Structure 1
């Protein structure tokens, strides 16, 4: 998932960008990455670093370029990115192969409902569907304008999916993608950055200008979750039955213990953009983003501490691999990392 933020919110921490004005263009959260004007995507920097550790076979160039989202389908990992790239790993990210893609548009989101049915979304109003576990993909027409930038997708079941994007774009399908319906979730045309499964059938949406929304299902009216923050949120994690963690620009992160009714800021966070988070099966919560910042929490998000890794590029997506390793996707393609310890290291005497 590629997160877009308007100039005023990228500039909130003094990054040297223009203050709030009318918004004729978008910027990705990674200042070295992509800049979009409508559906135009120009890559500013690309990394040629190796894609994996201990790879047994050469990986395609697509897996070493900009990757923006990834998901697991059983023991398979699929990732998507620039120039229509779709790549696949059957060995927890040790090696990668290219999957045929029917588009050259930048792909920003991928999600599966089950072992067979999934969707990919991206720029240029791109929506792709797979009915064979990601082995092949076919385009679908949502009816959205051609310059629509979709940023994320959530496959609820084999028939139902929701996609969101820039300037408030939101479309849903209930018939496997044969027909899509536009939804207006907000009065303002704010960027909607990330979709997350919440409790039960809840769908959580994170966006700019402090936007946090909950849908009881994809057709339900949105309920706003209010925090004290009016900058961009890039994602929200459902950590427990009633515990949520939202994260965004300049290290801003908030925690709720009552399913979003009340929020408290998480202190002592570095002032770096946080673009992705993951809850590992071993217990730790990991956040990452720009400036090579990776943070880990061993107390379900109450506190975070820096986690040193070998990464030298920005991260768009974290994913736990089937073998328990941590996969980081971003500027450097796909990188395998050993997971953090399940418990906090003992304090030095």
Structure 2
């Protein structure tokens, strides 16, 4: 997932910083469309732009990022081609279920779909439509939880209105009214809130999550969406940064130590107690089924079952983790300082890879030959297989991986 929440890159001198030149048409004064409805401009070197995530689409690689950029590569990331995209918003995450069907999400409540392996895209959802979907769901919930009926019918203490069932109904009505008020504000705010991540089970069923508790589900490949916001116990409307899982078990992680789990394919979510109350930006499910979460200041934890036991993962440096990746053999961590750590798939004792200095990284993709493809502030890079092996645990190597 792209870590847009860690702070945007400075816009002053952006092209000079990234070595990026954009082919910009001469728009008449006052005629420039909003980024959510303006096609992405063609870049001379899109592979050097700020990219947020990279995934497989069959044998193809697809990366997404700044200003509506979507790139694809058919030679394991050596060369990249810019796709045709109908928006210019920052795209934060991308997912493919096979070599053709894929989705990307991003700012302004954007959801895009491709059915040709990432070469062309069309918009399926935007922030305006998403807000209206949530408002309609909140109105239905409020209509089913009338606020004043019980108190008017049984005003005296000791009556049925004072019992546990009545208290539960009043609490439900209050929660429904709170959700309705928040949904109305969401509509009034306009399409200003991003989606951060997505999980598709197959070509029909998927879930997207984002800022301020945004959460939606589709059962028809994105043609229609329904709100999940009322089913996630997140009264503070904290950001939901990542979603990972298998066919039936899903995890959503976010701000202030939020970790939610669903054991029914996303139909319902329960909150898990966690040992760290800072933000989790990334999540990964290990081959064992255990969950790894990581976030602020290098805090990383492993959840093992049964019993939901949390074990801290000691990283070499207290730097915010921006991406996780697992390939069945190793677990990789990328951070805000451009460092990459690797451990065996059991997440024990991660060590720093021997890499040249890099800016902030946002995504990692392990390839079959051991190469790592990384996205970040300065585009996409291939990290050679030799570099993707952790350094021996000697004193000098350990010091090289620290930010002290």
2: CA distance, partners of 1:79 / 1:321? 14
The partner residue of 1:144 within 130, 137, 140 is: 130
- Contact kept, 8 Å, 1:93 with 1:321, in 2: the verdict is no
- Residues 1:240 and 1:324: Cα distance change in structure 2 (over 3 Å): same
- Residues 1:148 and 1:95: Cα distance change in structure 2 (over 3 Å): same
Which one has a larger percent strand, Structure 1 or Structure 2? 1
The CA deviation at 1:126 is 0.9
**Aligned residue-pair number:** 307
The CA deviation at 1:347 is 6.1
The CA deviation at 1:75 is 1.0
Residues 257-266 or 188-197, more deviating = 257-266
Confirm whether residue 278 of structure 1 aligns to residue 325 of structure 2: yes
The partner residue of 1:173 within 218, 229, 254 is: 218
The partner residue of 1:287 within 333, 355, 359 is: 333
Give TM-score, length-normalised by structure 1.
Answer: 0.81
Structure number with greater Rg is 2
Q: Deviations over 1:40-93 (max 9, x none)?
A: xx688564369xxxxxxxx94222110011110111000000110000111111
Runs of 4+ in 1 over 4 A off after TM superposition: 42-47, 340-344
The partner residue of 1:88 within 57, 72, 75 is: 72
Q: Deviations over 1:196-232 (max 9, x none)?
A: 124x422211111001111224442112222210000
- Ranges in structure 2 where 5+ consecutive residues have no aligned partner: 21-42, 132-190, 396-404
The partner residue of 2:245 within 183, 197, 207 is: 197
1: CA distance, partners of 2:276 / 2:292? 13
Confirm whether residue 221 of structure 1 aligns to residue 191 of structure 2: no
Q: Which residue of 2 aligns with 1:246?
A: 293
The partner residue of 1:188 within 211, 223, 236 is: 236
- Contact kept, 8 Å, 1:162 with 1:218, in 2: the verdict is no
2: CA distance, partners of 1:259 / 1:332? 42
The CA deviation at 1:267 is 2.7
2: CA distance, partners of 1:44 / 1:275? 24
The partner residue of 1:313 within 333, 352, 359 is: 359
- Ranges in structure 1 where 5+ consecutive residues have no aligned partner: 5-27, 35-41, 51-58
The partner residue of 2:9 within 14, 33, 56 is: 33
The CA deviation at 1:154 is 1.4
2: CA distance, partners of 1:321 / 1:242? 21
Confirm whether residue 48 of structure 1 aligns to residue 32 of structure 2: no
1: CA distance, partners of 2:90 / 2:307? 33
The CA deviation at 1:297 is 1.2
Residues 73-82 or 305-314, more deviating = 305-314
The CA deviation at 1:237 is 1.4
The CA deviation at 1:2 is 2.4
Q: Which residue of 1 aligns with 2:304?
A: 257
- Contact kept, 8 Å, 1:77 with 1:321, in 2: the verdict is no
Q: Which residue of 2 aligns with 1:120?
A: 104
The partner residue of 2:344 within 298, 304, 315 is: 298
1: CA distance, partners of 2:236 / 2:307? 22
Give TM-score, length-normalised by structure 2.
Answer: 0.70
Which one has a larger percent helix, Structure 1 or Structure 2? 2
